Amino acid sequence: MPQVKNWQLNREMEYAYQENRPQRQFAAVFNLNRCIGCQTCTMACKSTWTFSPGQEYMWWNNVESKPYGGFPFGWDVKLLEMLGEQPWNGSTYEGKTVFEAREPAKQTASGMIALGFLPGDEDWRHPNIYEDTSKGHNPKGESLPEHQNWGFYLPRICNHCTYPACLAACPRKAIYKRQEDGIVLIDQSRCRGYRKCMEACPYKKPMYRGTTATSEKCVGCYPRIEQGQATRCIATCIGKIRLFGFINDPASPVHYLVHKAKVALPLYPQFGTEPNIYYIPPRWVPRDYLAQMFGPGVEPAIASYTQADKELLGVLQLFGATDRIIHSYKIDGEEAVGMDEKGVEVVRTAINEKVQVRPADRHNIT
Ligand code: SF4
Ligand code: SF4
Ligand code: F3S
């Protein structure tokens, strides 16, 4: 298998095809400190793309309550167990990715390109199982800032991976990655429903449709991206936790958050697909849990987030401030400004929102 560079692992790794990065790469940052689990993103996606017969169980965007929830059920826990030890040496991953772990003993009958499994029907039945179920008293007695009881919402969409396991696994070569924006799509006219994509995707984002005998997945709202608009799930987010951008453009605020401020981290980077949805980890969650989920950058990311400088505060204010794609930004005095592809201003917002104090004679106290 060819060797490709995976920057999230700080090393080369095996992949089915040669490295072929797109001109622009679809990416987003989700701030988990802000997600309120309202599922507006989920319904925005559903009412746009998956409202037809055969798509009932499809939730291309889902929000699961961690640590217990998951859609399909146990998607991550099962794969983590199959993968075994996942050691990091500093920023270098020394364990195996899903592509490297496909030794014969763990292969499925048909000889998978990646370690994986096909979820059962039951696993798809309860999209929001364990909603709001927190982890109870922690016997290790961890103290603040990690709470005794904790939980958080994890919104998930397809990661439009740089090295998609779904694409690598399809025997029909029905899955392709667009050069112009890195969006990964399933060609419905080529797909024959083999479901190798479902088996190989570590995030379990391709979903089978019985009425067409093909698989479907998040299409990255490509018609909106082509018009300079953020995706539906990002544009509708009530908590303003999401920011869209092209990660390989150094002027993009998403590039800044991931590569400069280093506050946003990939989800399970050890799987090896180089996912392109990045998360600002929640501050109150035990660090060992977060480190398994987001890799070794957790402590510096939380430190950077909690001691945010003016530039970072400004970029954080751009989250959910417009439905246009922000290609570049600047800090202008006490305001953060976002620009479109042509450098035209599309949004301007105060870095520190003004505090309005209710006059003493208007206090609502009897
Ligand atoms: Fe493919 Fe899964 Fe990556 Fe999406 S998250 S591109 S479905 S491997
Ligand atoms: Fe759905 Fe579009 Fe979000 Fe994908 S990007 S989860 S298709 S709303
Ligand atoms: Fe290929 Fe997945 Fe269809 S493996 S044939 S894209 S169901």
Number of domains comprising the chain? 1
What is residue 111's predicted lDDT score, i.e. its pLDDT? 60
Q: Is 117 contained in some domain?
A: yes
For residue 218, report the distance from its CA to the centre of ligand 2, in Å: 5
Q: Among 41, 51, 61, which residue has the most ligand 2 atoms within 8 Å of its CB, making it the best to mutate?
A: 61
Does residue 352 fall inside a structural domain?
A: no
- What pLDDT, on the 0 to 100 scale, is given for residue 222? 98
Residue 219 C-alpha to ligand 3 middle, in angstroms?
A: 15
Task: Give CA–CA dist 76/195, Å, rounded.
Answer: 18
Asked, for residue 78, whether it belongs to a domain, the answer is: yes
Whether pLDDT at 161 is above 70: yes
Q: Judge whether 82 and 107 are in contact, CB under 8 Å.
A: no
Q: What is the dihedral sign for C-alpha 182, 183, 187, 193?
A: positive
Atom of ligand 3 at shortest range from CA of 173: 1
Where are the extended beta strands (E) located within the chain? 3-6, 11-14, 26-31, 62-66, 88-89, 92-93, 152-156, 175-177, 184-186, 207-209, 214-216, 242-246, 265-266, 277-280, 328-332, 335-339, 345-350
Query: Which ligand lies nearest the alpha carbon of 198?
Result: 3
What are the percentages of helix, strand and coil residues in the chain, rounded to 5?
25, 20, 60
Q: Which ligand is nearest to the CA of 187?
A: 3
Domain containing residue 296: CATH number = 3.30.70.20
pLDDT of residue 179: 98
Is 261 part of a structural domain of the chain? yes
Both tokens of 129, joined, read 């199982």
Q: Is residue 331 part of a domain?
A: no
Tens digit of pLDDT for each residue in 317-334?
999 999 999 999 999 999
C-alpha distances out from residue 50 to 130, 159, 197, 219, Å: 23, 18, 19, 11
- Give the tens place of pLDDT for each residue, 110-160: 567 999 999 999 999 999 999 999 887 655 665 666 677 899 999 999 999
The atom of ligand 1 lying closest to the CA of 217 is: 7
Q: Is the CB of 265 under 6 A from ligand 1?
A: no
Which residues approach ligand 3 with their CB closer than 6 A? 169-170, 172, 174-175, 186, 191-197, 206, 214-215
Q: Which ligand is nearest to the CA of 208?
A: 3
pTM for this model (two decimals): 0.94
* Within a domain: 96: yes
pLDDT at 106: 46
Domain, as residue range, for 297: 3-306
Three-state SS at 256 = helix
Grade residue 199 by pLDDT with cuts at 50, 70 and 90: very high
Q: For residue 259, is it within any domain?
A: yes
**pLDDT, position 140:** 60
55 belongs to a structural domain:
yes
pLDDT band at 353 (very low <50, low <70, confident <90, very high): confident
